């Protein structure tokens, strides 16, 4: 009997599933079973487009196609919560299973609070996340730091504190994340500050942290986070689609240490980024946003900034129309609007054509507001 709170090792029951999937193929096997059993109508998968720097999404309705999206894409920086609302009517007309990072999970929950997403129609399979790398920055990093043509790289991994590339000839090369980031490469800045590495608000939290012994690299560590997740694992195992074993107690302890190390790294980056702003946050906002061309990309791609017609009409009384760059109040209103719900997903910053550090500024505003509300929380008041 699988129950909420259980910690398991799991892997696909078939040799093909183990070979094609990541870490034993458990996540792929669960998604495939959810579709085969008609628990869901479709699976929202993230898959490789033209290369490993091009992440695309697809709704899969044929179980045989689920395996096509096996593996990880650390250079894919999509936010699935926004995709659910923009293209899939918030899952109101279709039951879906999907793999989610921490920021995907937080975005989905925030949109569910606003009644834009129907959680009853979703099965969320959370993936432990140490961060992602911008596709543009990744190609630059591989060229300059790895002395390799990005076109020669067929796979990448973030493991044991390194960013690792695998080339067409099968050779590997890894460089320490700390070294890369100290030199201005590595993960997106919002990912560095993230304190939500294991998405326990999903139905399952899956990853390779804590898998030891003969199962290392051949199984996935699963933490069961909801009754819905427990039901999926139990039925998949009973059907023969998934094999499971209790997690090794030493592995559980190691997983905790890995998570702790990642959180300390996130705290380090918060301290560095936020202290650089210190008492000049509002002056920095005014200076940086002076480059704004008012393209609305930051609003369009934010999962929690949902402007409605009445709000936009009210905004025009404070922010004159037709001005480029707009009055600082344009951004002040936006920061105020999301000050209690910014999830630090980084979409506003990554998609800003003027390279305004919007994620940093939004994150700092939220951190400052939460710390003011409860001074004991300090500079890292919430876990995202």
For 305-348, the pLDDT digits (tens) are 876 555 555 555 566 667 788 888 888 888 888 888 899 999 99
- Whether the pLDDT of residue 144 is over 50: the answer is yes
Question: Which of helix, strand or coil describes residue 369?
Answer: helix
pLDDT value for 381 = 37
234, 1 contact by CB (below 8 A):
yes
Residue 327 carries which DSSP code?
Answer: P
| Average pLDDT value for residue range 279-293 | 88
| CA–CA separation, 175 and 182 (whole Å) | 12
- Whether the pLDDT of residue 383 is over 70: the answer is no
pLDDT band of residue 277 (cuts 50, 70, 90) is: confident
pLDDT band of residue 377 (cuts 50, 70, 90) is: very low
pLDDT value for 373 = 44
| Average pLDDT value for residue range 244-249 | 97
Provide CB contacts within 8 A for 141, sequence distance 6+.
133, 163, 180, 185, 186
Report CA-CA distances (Å) from 166 to 21, 162, 209, 260: 16, 13, 21, 28
- Write out the DSSP string of 47-109: EE-SSTT-EEEEEE-SGGGGGGG-S--TT----HHHHHHHHSGGGSSS-EEEEE-HHHHHHHH
| CA–CA separation, 192 and 381 (whole Å) | 16
pLDDT value for 344 = 93
134, 190 contact by CB (below 8 A):
no
pTM: 0.90
Note the pLDDT tens digit of each residue in 79-132.
Answer: 999 899 988 999 998 999 999 999 999 999 999 998 999 999 999 999 999 999
* Highest mean pLDDT, choosing among 16-30, 56-70, 157-171, 232-246: 232-246
| Average pLDDT value for residue range 5-33 | 89
Q: Where are the alpha helices (DSSP H) in the chain?
A: 15-20, 26-36, 80-87, 102-113, 135-144, 177-182, 189-193, 227-239, 249-277, 281-288, 297-301, 309-315, 328-337, 347-350, 358-373
- Whether the pLDDT of residue 382 is over 60: the answer is no
> In sequence order, what are the beta bridge partners of 46?
57
* Of 57, 56, 21, 22, the residue nearest 42 (C-alpha): 57
Residue 248 carries which DSSP code?
Answer: P
| CA–CA separation, 163 and 190 (whole Å) | 17
Note the pLDDT tens digit of each residue in 192-222.
Answer: 999 999 999 999 999 999 999 999 999 999 9
pLDDT value for 72 = 79
pLDDT value for 304 = 87
Tokens of 328: 């600082």
| CA–CA separation, 120 and 138 (whole Å) | 37
| CA–CA separation, 7 and 173 (whole Å) | 32
pLDDT value for 370 = 64
pLDDT band of residue 374 (cuts 50, 70, 90) is: very low
Regarding predicted confidence, which is higher, 18 or 188?
188
232, 204 contact by CB (below 8 A):
yes
Q: Are strands 96-100 and 55-60 parallel, antiparallel or unpaired?
A: unpaired
198, 223 contact by CB (below 8 A):
yes
The full set of domains in the chain, from first to last, is 7-261 (no CATH), 277-377 (1.10.1060)
pLDDT value for 369 = 61
Flag the least confident range among 31-35, 68-72, 164-168, 197-201.
68-72
Half-sphere exposure of 42 (CA within 13 A, CB side): 13
> In sequence order, what are the beta bridge partners of 239?
none
Q: What is the mean pLDDT of the chain?
A: 88
> In sequence order, what are the beta bridge partners of 44?
59
How long, in residues, is the chain? 384
């Amino acid at each position: 009997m699988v129950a909420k709170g259980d910690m398991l090792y799991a892997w696909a029951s078939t040799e093909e599933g183990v070979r094609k999937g990541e870490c034993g193929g458990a996540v792929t096997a669960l998604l495939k079973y959810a579709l085969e059993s008609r628990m869901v109508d479709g699976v929202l998968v993230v898959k490789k487009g033209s290369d490993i720097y091009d992440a695309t999404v697809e709704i899969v309705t044929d179980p045989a196609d689920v395996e096509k999206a096996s593996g990880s894409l650390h250079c894919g920086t999509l936010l699935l919560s926004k995709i659910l609302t923009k293209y899939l009517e918030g899952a109101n007309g279709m039951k879906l299973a999907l793999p989610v990072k921490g920021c995907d999970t937080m975005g989905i929950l925030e949109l569910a609070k606003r009644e834009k997403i129907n959680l009853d129609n979703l099965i969320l399979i959370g993936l432990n996340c140490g961060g992602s790398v911008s596709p543009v920055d990744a190609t630059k990093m591989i060229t300059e730091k790895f002395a390799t043509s990005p076109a020669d790289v067929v796979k990448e991994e973030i493991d044991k504190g390194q960013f690792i590339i695998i080339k067409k000839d099968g050779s590997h090369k890894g460089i320490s994340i700390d070294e890369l980031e100290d030199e201005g490469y590595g993960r997106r800045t919002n990912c560095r500050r993230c304190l939500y590495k294991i998405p326990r608000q999903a139905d399952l939290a899956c990853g390779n942290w804590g898998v030891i012994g003969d199962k290392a690299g051949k199984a996935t560590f699963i933490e069961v986070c909801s009754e819905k997740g427990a039901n999926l694992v139990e039925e998949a195992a009973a059907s023969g689609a998934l094999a499971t074993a209790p997690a090794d107690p030493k592995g559980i302890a190691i997983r905790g240490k890995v998570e702790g190390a990642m959180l300390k790294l996130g705290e380090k980056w918060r301290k560095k980024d936020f202290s650089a702003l210190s008492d000049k946050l509002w002056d920095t906002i005014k200076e940086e946003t002076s480059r704004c061309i008012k393209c609305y990309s930051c609003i369009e791609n934010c999962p929690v900034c949902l402007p409605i017609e009445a709000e936009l009409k009210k905004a025009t009384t404070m922010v004159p129309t037709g001005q480029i760059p707009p009055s600082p109040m344009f951004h002040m209103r936006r920061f105020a609007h999301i000050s209690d719900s910014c999830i630090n997903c980084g979409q506003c910053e990554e998609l800003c054509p003027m390279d305004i550090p919007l994620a940093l500024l939004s994150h700092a505003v939220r951190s400052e507001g939460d710390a003011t509300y409860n001074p004991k929380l300090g500079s890292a008041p919430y876990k995202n």
